[in-house]
């Protein structure tokens, strides 16, 4: 079964991109990475998404995350489409700040389980879904999100998720619903109270619940 699961080492594939041939692990180096796929070049939703990703490129850079997109067309198409994308975002003449992988043979899309069976091109071939893979500096998959081709993603939410991934990779905490950086986080359930008190100098507060179980433990990082 093609596809990749959380914790798997992300495949070290080779591919042609708009900035040349890459070997994925070398491209990532010691950084975090985000690979996001698109159904096809010169399509409306994809153009809006790529434009938003380009506008947020500095935010990804600030977090040490290398960006790379993928679509099932050629390098030449990608280069031409990039000009449309930047013009759509009122930045005509500025290069797209990240490469796009050419997967015109759909090999990578099959390997990574990214095809959307419900959306097909004029030749009847399936298009790529909107996948998001976040890869850690250890080259392991930390997050995957899979949207159908017909639903555009929210890249601000993806940044929020990366903030959570990077925080929870360092500290024994988890981020609650709708969390944003700076807000209280939750102590992970496996950490005993005695260790939590020692680990979190800002203190740990517990919310009382009808069950009497003290599992909702908050702290401020």
Q: How far is the CB of 39 from ligand BEZ (least distance, A)?
A: 4
- Quote the tokens at residue 51: 């434009």
Residue 70 sits at the vertex; the CA angle it makes with 64 and 76, to the nearest 5 degrees, is 115
- Residues 6 or more apart whose CB falls under 8 angstroms from that of 164 comprise 175, 179
- Contact between 46 and ligand BEZ per CB under 6 A: yes
> 115, exposed or middle or buried, with CB in 10 Å at 0-12, 13-18, 19+?
buried
Q: Of 27-35, 37-45, 69-77, 131-139, which segment contacts ligand BEZ by CB under 6 A?
A: 37-45
Q: Of 22-30, 43-51, 66-74, 155-163, which segment contacts ligand BEZ by CB under 6 A?
A: 43-51
Q: Of 42-50, 51-59, 187-195, 202-210, which segment contacts ligand BEZ by CB under 6 A?
A: 42-50
Q: Determine which one of 41, 46, 103, 116 is catalytic.
A: 46
**Alpha-carbon span 37 to 156, nearest angstrom:** 17
Site for ligand BEZ in 142-161 (CB under 6 A): 149-150
- Contact between 69 and ligand BEZ per CB under 6 A: no
Query: Which secondary-structure segment (H or E) carries 169?
Result: helix 155-170
Residue numbers annotated as active site: 46, 138
List interacting residues with ligand BEZ (CB under 6 A): 39-40, 43-46, 119, 127, 149-150
């Amino acid at each position: 079964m093609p596809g990749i699961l959380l914790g798997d080492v992300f495949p070290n594939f080779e591919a042609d991109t708009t900035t040349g041939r890459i070997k994925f692990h070398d491209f990532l180096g010691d950084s975090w990475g985000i690979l996001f796929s698109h159904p096809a070049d010169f399509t409306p939703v994809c153009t809006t998404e790529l434009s938003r990703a380009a506008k947020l490129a500095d935010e990804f850079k600030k977090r040490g995350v290398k960006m790379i997109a993928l679509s099932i067309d050629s390098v030449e198409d990608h280069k031409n489409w990039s000009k449309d994308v930047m013009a759509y975002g009122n930045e005509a003449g500025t290069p797209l700040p990240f490469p796009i992988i050419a997967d015109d043979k759909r090999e990578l899309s099959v390997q990574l389980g990214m095809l959307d069976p419900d959306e097909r091109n004029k030749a009847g071939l399936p298009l790529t879904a909107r996948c998001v893979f976040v890869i850690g500096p250890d080259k392991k998959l930390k997050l995957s999100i899979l949207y159908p081709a017909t639903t555009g993603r929210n890249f601000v939410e993806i940044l929020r998720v990366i903030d959570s991934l990077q925080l929870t990779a360092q500290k024994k905490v988890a981020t609650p619903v709708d969390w944003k950086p700076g807000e209280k986080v939750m102590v992970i359930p496996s950490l005993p109270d005695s260790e939590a008190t020692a680990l979190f100098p800002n203190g740990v507060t517990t919310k009382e619940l009808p069950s009497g179980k003290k599992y909702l433990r908050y702290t401020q990082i």
